[in-house]
Amino acid sequence: MEANSSDNDTRFSTKQSSSQSTASRHDWKLHEVTSLFEMPFNDLLFKAQTIHRQFHDPNHVQVSTLLSIKTGACPEDCKYCPQSARYDTGLETEKLLEIENVVESAKRAKAAGSTRFCMGAAWRNPKDKDMPYVTKMVEEIKKLGLETCMTLGMLSNHQAHALKQAGLDYYNHNLDTSPEFYGEIITTRQYQDRLDTLENVRDAGMNVCSGGIVGMGESAQDRAALLQQLANLPEHPQSVPINMLVKVKGTPLDSVDDLDEFEFVRTIAVARIMMPESYVRLSAGRESMNEQMQALCFMAGANSIFYGCKLLTTSNPETHEDVQLFKKLGINREQTKSLSDESLEQRIIDELEQKTGQDASYNTAQTSNSDLFIDATKTSIKEISAR
């Protein structure tokens, strides 16, 4: 029997009121982190889920869409990345997309249910000549009522402030791995360069999105050290993406041994325990995960995903597959917090009708008795905003 939604809300409110019982820390020692990884699996998941419920609704997952706005020809030598100009992966390079094309993609993402639109460019760092274009993208997408996120490489303090002024909500810059293993993966920039960019993002007042990639041949201690670095930042990243390596033929890591799936779930759980208020994103690599593994990750504290057919240049589960999984698990995405006016409502309706006509499976999910996606054809702006 399904629990009454008001009962669920009451239980969640009770958990929220006790959130101060788990204090956020920035002084983790490596042996403490490794001790968490070494806990019996069931005990670790129970601890992570208990903490998760103190700070988050356990049955809601934030949904984002990621678009590559400039693809390939990156001068960096990140061994995991098919966008590096140093590796022959068969990737076709693309120049910076026109602003109008990016906005249209954002409209489709919102119509499909995303609350945050993320844009990635394969740069070492943006040039001054690029900044007017990317800031304009942010301004236009904010008009749609979406949260915005960008990952453009390293940022100067001035560039970070320019993005903040344009309205950018989140900036993504991953630490990737531990300081000790970092030189095995990247040599064209230093670990401190990444930390400096995160400092510039914080100084500008933007939310930080920073995590890492596991399954690159690192040790268990490296995974612990990565989370130690993230948790000991002056502020915990508001969003912490945990990526499973997607092996792409032609990159130096295309034949590295697979990471044990339980180790990936452990990484999610430890991230949740160490950064209790952050959103922990189940990010790249989901296409290779079955539903049961993804469910374990949500149990371990993951509460954010990307959906859509691509993550920059690598594949991701189709949207309708996520809809079906969320229905099975009783998970509903967070609702867009603010919408502007009746013209925006009509635009959402138009996008939904277009998408429905294109994809029968999406139509089934859209018209089913589920609040994973708002049915804008039956819901007023006032009702949506109140959710």
- Distances, alpha carbon 125 to alpha carbons 82, 102, 120, 153, in Å: 17, 20, 11, 5
Q: Distance between terminal CA atoms of the chain?
A: 24
Dihedral of CA atoms 100, 117, 114, 59 in degrees, nearest 10, equals 180
| Annotated catalytic residue, options 53, 74, 297, 333 | 74
How far is it, in rounded angstroms, from Cα 199 to Cα 205?
A: 10
209 an active-site residue? yes
Percent of residues in the chain assigned helix, strand, coil, to nearest 5: 45, 15, 40
Which element (helix H / strand E) includes 253? none
Catalytic residue among 194, 266, 272, 281: 281
d(CA 76, CA 105): 27
Residue 139 CB-density burial (10 A; 0-12 exposed, 13-18 middle, 19+ buried) = middle
Question: How far is 355 from 108, CA to CA, in rounded Å?
Answer: 8
Helix (H, G, I), strand (E, B) or coil at 305: strand
SS3 302: coil
Token readout for 343 is 């013209």
- Residue among 53, 194, 209, 286 flagged as catalytic: 209
Nearest Cα residue to 195 out of 164, 152, 155: 155
User: Is 309 noted as a catalytic residue in this protein?
Assistant: no
Q: φ and ψ at 119, to 5 degrees?
A: -125, 130
**Residue among 53, 116, 149, 333 flagged as catalytic:** 149
Is the CB of residue 84 less than 8 Å from the CB of residue 77? yes
- Calculate the dihedral angle through the C-alpha atoms of 79, 85, 90, 93, rounding to the nearest 10 degrees: 130
Active-site position among 78, 266, 286, 333: 78
78 labelled catalytic: yes
Distance CA 373, CA 366 (A): 7
Annotated active-site residue in 53, 118, 194, 223? 118
Which residue among 53, 81, 297, 333 is the active-site one?
81
- The residues carrying an active-site annotation are 74, 78, 81, 118, 149, 209, 281
